[in-house]
Each structure stands twice: as structure tokens, then as C-alpha cells.
Structure 1
Amino acid sequence: MEKVKLRLYQLTLILSLVSLALVLVSSGKQREFFYIAIYASIVGLAFEYKKLTLRPFSIAYPVLLIGLLNLVWYLVYELHSEGLNAYSDYLGSSKKLILASLLIFYLDRFKFYVTKENFQKYFLITTAVGFVLATGYGVFQAVEGIDRVEMAINRPTIAAYVYSVLSLALVYSLYLQRNVKLYVVAGLVVLLSWFIILLTATRAAMGLYLILAIVLTLYQFRKIHLKSLMIFLCIVAGIIIVSYKPLISPKIEQTQSEITKYQEGHDATSLGARFSMWNVGIATGLAHPLGQSIDSREAWTKQYVKDGHPHVAAAIGYLRIHLHNEIIEKYSLQGIPGLAVLLYFFVSIIVYAMANRNGLLLTAMLLLLLYGLTDVMLLSSEALIFFMTLFALSPHFSQTRRQ
């Protein structure tokens, strides 16, 4: 029986690793391996039921809580809806989160089946393969003349967010090998990744990636040698010089132009529409502190615009999608309860990561939080599956290892 339990855990781990590697090259296969891993984890939990305990804390708990809240909200407001509709993404998100919590719990509680050294080796291979495939795909799209690199996700922004986290996961794995040559490889990975991110033309990722790479490096080593830092900065400067005119300058000019237009009362731009959505989201959240339906939010906003707020009219076109901010979206639809659960999700996992000196989990959560300020990551199928799979694998990197 113990051998069966071991094989089940190994199978679940392998399926999760494959799902992680395929995120940017085949969304369909990523999803398939993710669900098969969950089914395997459910069987594994059934075999291990005598060993199941709720203590100590697991990051599966806040994930489960968000999934249950989304499900309850859906049942309260839109159980009667049929077919694909504005609420389908929320129902799909709740299902993925609830099921993912089982995978996270299983891989966390029984991680003693795999030694930390072996797991780190498997994870390094997986992230390296995933990174090479994604980078190759991105370069191929750029050579073919695509306007914005999007890989297999077909949405450049989400592709950039996921790619940046996958890249830093590989960098973290390389750091853990404690090999000077691999440190150099990690530096090259950072530089190549940033160039690919520039090709996605995603402003949030362009600005945050290098900052989080530096944060991860400082967190891992506590200090950086001056010579290495100077070499790295010189290479970064070279990339900036080469890519500034074709890639960076247009985004800076676009940002300045959109801010100016918004200040003049024109919000029908990418950034202007976001400002309007955030304005509307906060206002409608204040008006419905216990939550509301998407239909109610839309009706309230249309009336809000008619009542003397035409400068936020661009937000109306996005109300049946989302408000491009994780926190505001949650608050506008699920009120104070949703906001409290979301904050618990972020704070509890970040605190757990810091308490266990888990650099991978901390970096992933910080980027999930920061990217969530301009998008809604927990509604994107590919991004949600990717982050949940990464969370499921991350406890193996905790410095305090439970037996």
C-alpha cells in the first residue's frame, strides 16, 4: 500500500510539472494535465485519509476560501443563467480554485515522499524546458512579424505576466544550485526574458520584471557583488539603448498621451478606460457594500454616467468582462466580504512565504498582487491554472520542512 501511495504522489507531481511547462505553448494541454493531476490528488487523498489534518496552515486554505466565495456569489446571483454568459468566468474560476486547493493541499501535506534535492532537480528541468519552449515560440512570433508577442495564450498581457513568473521560477531554481556558472546563466535568463517581455509591449511587466528579479536576488543572497552588478547593469543599459526607440519609447509616449487625454475628459484609451473602470468600481462598491450582480453593476454605472459623470463612460464597455483591477473588481461585485477574503488570500500567503523563506512563492505572490492592479488574474483560465500549479509545487521550497 505504501508503494501505491508513493506512486500516486509521484504521478501527481509529474502531471503538475508537465502542466507548468506547457502553459505558454499549449493552453489546452496545460489544462488537461492540470485536471488529471487534480484527479490523481483526489485519489491520493482518499488513500491518505488517516493522515489528514487541518494543522498546520496550508496555502490551500485561502485558495479554497476564494473559490467558495466565488461559488456562493454565483449561486446567489446567477444560478438561473444558461449557456455562456458574463458569469461563466466566475463559475469557472470558482471550480478551478476549489479543485486546485485539493491539489495544493495534497502536494503540500505529503511532500516527504520526494526529497527536496530531487524535487529541485525536477523543477529546474521543468522550468528550463518551459522557458526554452516559450522563449522560442516568442522569438518565432517576433520573426514572423506579429505586432505583440503572445505565445499560445493569444493575449499579450497575460502571456507577459505568466512568462515573467515562469522566468523568475527558473532563475530561482538556478540560484538554488549554488553554482557560479549557473548564476551567470540566471543573469542571461533575466536579460533574455526582459527582451521577450518588451516584445509583448505589456507596460506592467516591462516595468516590474527587472524590479522583482532584483528583489528575488537580494532575498536569496542578501547581498550582491559590485562587479557582478555593474556587468548586469551594463548589459541592461545595452538592451535599453537598442530597444528604446522601437519598443520602449512608443509605450512611454502612449502612456503620456493617454494620461493627458484622460485629464482633458477623454477616457476612450487603454489607460483612460482603466482609470474610468477603477473610478466606477470604487463608486459602485461603496453603493453596494455587501455585493451585487454584474447586471446590477452595469445598470448602476449607466445611471451614474447619466447623472453627471460622462468622463467615465468608457468603463461601460468593460462591465460585463471585468474592471482590470483584482481588488476593485472583487469589491464592486462581492463588496466588503469579497474584499476581506481577497486581502486574506494575499496577506496570508505572503506572510507564509516570508516565514518559511520561500523565495519562489513570495515572488509569485508579489507579481500576482502587482499585476492584479491593472488586470484580473484570477479570472484568466491560463493564468489561474499556472499560478495554482506553481502554488501547489512551491511548498517544496520552504526552508522549514514538515515531516
Structure 2
Amino acid sequence: MALIQPDQAVKIFIFSAILSLPIVFHNYDRLLKNKRLLLLPLALFSFGLVQIIWVAIFKQQGSPFTAAYRSYQNGGKNLIFAAFMIAAICSQPALSLCKDRIAQYVTIATGFGLYCWAGYQLYTVGGANPLAYRVPLGFEFATGTAYALTFIALLASQAILNLRSTLVIPLYFIHFALSAMAIVSTQTRAAILVYPVLCIALFLLNYRHNRKVLFGALTSFIILSLAALIPLKPVLEQRYAEFKSDITAYQADNSNTSIGARFAMQKAGLETGKLTPWGESLEQRSAALTDLEKSDPSLSGALFFVNVHLHNELMDTFSLKGVPGLILLLLLYATAVYIALNQRNALLLMVTGAIIAYGLSDMVLYSKAESLISTLALCFAFILVSGAMREQSHE
């Protein structure tokens, strides 16, 4: 049974984007007076539009890469929808206390609900052999599940910090332990490494003015991390052993492994991008990569993925959309970081960090499900951290 249905979620997302249009037009005066509010929406819109235009130019009838073209198109659409939603959110005054509390409680409940469901799937489906089972939660691939759990966990973490009660710190630690265990159950190495860093950083940024809490918190995070990972020690050991094996194989010019293929795809993206700096079709990239592999066998691992993507947001964009696409993607990253720092929005900074980090070993702005959860996280980063709260920190 799939708890998450990306197709249904996208329909709701589109409907929400449509509802945001009247809000944007009604408050366009406020947006024009504070043009910084438009920077991130414009960056999202621009990169999303490039995705759609690129598909319109290069997609051919009956192409064997039709599914991949559709995924790029869906990702572009979600970026454009998110642009309008963020513009609408930024043009509105902060939520009332009641609505703000509802948003926080719903976010926290969603997070804990997903962690429990992940545990249920691991116990009921993978119970006999948990080392061979990666929790999907309804996503096509477990990596997508890990990314979704990361974004939801970061949002829930901020919602917990917003409660500002005496139970905030212990609840944050409990949430950290459960969310980390859920992410480990997906066996996604990038998420296992990235999420704890972002979650701890979010806490430290919120308590940066309270030195008494910081030392105790760091100690608690270390203890909790170890305690949370003990039950899943066999999973971690297996993934680490596979990582070492993949690295050894790649050093022997064998890129037909999980890690080796990623290295090969990054190199392939760079080399094919240099051949066509203004962009090319999936068919052209496939042909170019096939030719390059004949002279450089270390690229063989990348051939298995030419019909999807190159598992690196930067290199994949460079190889298909050329220098213009790469510049727009870098501008999107830079704009999100700038807005986060300018508005003192620690949650937005962590969400952006996750998008960038995961984009180094995969693509989270590609396809329907991954781009949806990424852009939703950006939207909620503005909802959960209102204008008033951005100026506060835990004393």
C-alpha cells in the first residue's frame, strides 16, 4: 500500500498554484515595492521555463526518450507553479497565530506519521530480510523517498522549534532520532550523510545566541545519532561495504557500480556539455556519449542511464541545456541562498542546502515526484518562518 501518491499530490499542487494567481495580481504593488520578494520566484520561473522550452525544441515524435523528456517537462512545470506560489506567500502578511499553529501541528503530525509508516513498511514487508529492503513510501525509487523524508523532516524540525515551549528541545531530539532512522531505512547514502548535518545545523542556527544550550545539544545529538543508528547497524555496514567496493572497482576503471556510475555520469555530462555548449537533445547526448565511451571505457557506467538523467543536476543541465541552462541553475541556487541569508530564514537555507547537496549525486528538480517535494519544501520554508519569526532566535 502506497501512502504517498505523487500524481494526486501534483494535482493538488497545480490547483494551489492556480489559486495563488489572484493573490499575486492583487498584491503586485507590494511585490513591486519590495523587488527582493520576486527574486526567487523569477529564478524558479526562469529555470522551469528553460526546461519546458528545451523539451519543446528537442522532443521528437516517437522518441525512445519520451519518458525522460516528459520528466524534464514535469519538473519545469512544478518549478513554475512554485514560483507563483512563493510570490503569493511572500506578498501576504504573516499568518494569524491560529493558522500558524495549525500549520505547525499539521507539519509535525505529517512528519511523525511518515516515520511510523516507514517503520511499518520495514517491519511488515522487509521484516524477513531488512538488508534487502529499501522503504519506498509510494515513490518509484527509495532515493526519492529519502529526499522526501529529508525535506519533510526539516520542515517538521522547524515547526517544533516554532512551538517555543519547555518541551521543544526534548521533542526536537526525539524527532531527530525517529526521522534519522526513517531515512536510514531507505538505505540512501547521500541522505544518511546529509540529513543529520542539516538537522543539527538548523537547531544550532536557531539557538545560536544561547551558548548554554549549544554545548549540551551537540552532546545530545551525538548520543542520539549513535542510539538511533544502532538498530540499523547492519544496514549501515552493508551500505558502507558496498561503497568501499564501488570505489575500489572505479579505481580499476570499472564504473559499472552505483558509485562508479555516478562518477562516470558526472564526467560524461562535462565532456558532452563541452562538445555542445549551447545545448543538445537526449538523442544527441546519447550518441556523443556512445562515441566517447569507445575511447574512454571508464564512461561505460554512464551508458545505462542515458535514457533518464546523469544523476548530477549541474552536469546534466550543462550537457543538455548548455551554458545558458547551467547559469540559470546556478542563479537559482545562489538566489535561494541569498534570500535565506537576507531574510534570516534558517529553514530556507537548510532546504536549499538539501536541494544543492542531493543535486550533486542525483536530480531533485527532475520528474514529477522529486521536483514536487523540493518545491513544496521551498514554499513551506516561507510559511513556517514568517517575517516576524525571521528576526527571532531562541534565547
TM-score > 0.5 by shorter chain: yes
Q: Is 1:63 aligned with 2:63?
A: no
Structural mapping, 1:389-400, within 5 Å: 389-396=376-383, 397-399=385-387
Partner-residue secondary structure (3-state), 1:377:
coil
The counterpart of 2:114, out of the listed 130, 134, 138, is: 134
Q: In the alignment, is the contact (CA less than 8 A) between 2:180 and 2:228 conserved in 1?
A: no
What is the CA distance between 1:118 and its match in structure 2?
A: 3.8
The counterpart of 1:86, out of the listed 68, 79, 86, is: 68
Q: Is 1:28 aligned with 2:7?
A: yes
1:125 maps to 105
Partner-residue secondary structure (3-state), 1:86:
helix
Q: Which amino acid aligns with 1:186?
A: Y
| Deviation readout 1:63-101 (Å, 9 max, x if unpaired) | 001011112222222265679443111222222222221
Q: Is 1:293 aligned with 2:274?
A: no
| Deviation readout 1:30-87 (Å, 9 max, x if unpaired) | 2222111112122444555676637422221110010111122222222656794431
Structural mapping, 1:282-321, within 5 Å: 282-306=270-294, 308-321=295-308
Distance 1:349 1:277, change over 3 A: same
| Deviation readout 1:138-193 (Å, 9 max, x if unpaired) | 11110113301111213111111110121121111111222221221111000111
Q: In the alignment, is the contact (CA less than 8 A) between 1:356 and 1:398 conserved in 2?
A: no
| Deviation readout 1:109-134 (Å, 9 max, x if unpaired) | 1235x33x344312211212211221
Cα distance in 2 between the residues matched to 1:40 and 1:366: 29
Identity, in percent, stands at 25
Partner-residue secondary structure (3-state), 2:361:
coil
Q: Is 1:106 aligned with 2:72?
A: no
Cα distance in 1 between the residues matched to 2:312 and 2:350: 19
Cα distance in 1 between the residues matched to 2:216 and 2:291: 60
Partner-residue secondary structure (3-state), 2:279:
coil
The counterpart of 2:134, out of the listed 148, 154, 162, is: 148
2:393 maps to none
Cα distance in 1 between the residues matched to 2:307 and 2:290: 13
Q: Which amino acid aligns with 2:205?
A: Y
Q: Which amino acid aligns with 1:369?
A: I
Cα distance in 1 between the residues matched to 2:62 and 2:92: 40
Q: Which runs of 5+ in 1 are unaligned?
A: 1-22
The counterpart of 2:265, out of the listed 264, 267, 277, is: 277
| Deviation readout 1:353-402 (Å, 9 max, x if unpaired) | 01111111111000010011111110131221122223223334254699
Aligned residues: 376
2:203 maps to 217
Range 79-88 or range 141-150, more displaced? 79-88
Q: Which amino acid aligns with 1:290?
A: W
1:248 maps to 236
What is the CA distance between 1:24 and its match in structure 2?
A: 6.0
Cα distance in 2 between the residues matched to 1:90 and 1:258: 29
1:239 maps to 228
Q: Is 1:40 aligned with 2:19?
A: yes
Distance 1:107 1:228, change over 3 A: closer
1:188 maps to 174
Q: TM-score, normalised by structure 1?
A: 0.87
2:56 maps to 75
Distance 1:225 1:273, change over 3 A: closer
Range 208-217 or range 93-102, more displaced? 93-102
Range 90-99 or range 294-303, more displaced? 90-99
Partner-residue secondary structure (3-state), 1:378:
coil
Q: In the alignment, is the contact (CA less than 8 A) between 2:72 and 2:367 conserved in 1?
A: no
Partner-residue secondary structure (3-state), 1:25:
coil
Q: Which amino acid aligns with 2:187?
A: A
Q: TM-score, normalised by structure 2?
A: 0.89
2:246 maps to 258
Q: Which amino acid aligns with 1:31?
A: V
Cα distance in 1 between the residues matched to 2:74 and 2:145: 20
Q: Which runs of 5+ in 2 are unaligned?
A: 127-132, 391-395
Cα distance in 2 between the residues matched to 1:305 and 1:232: 46
What is the CA distance between 1:313 and its match in structure 2?
A: 1.2
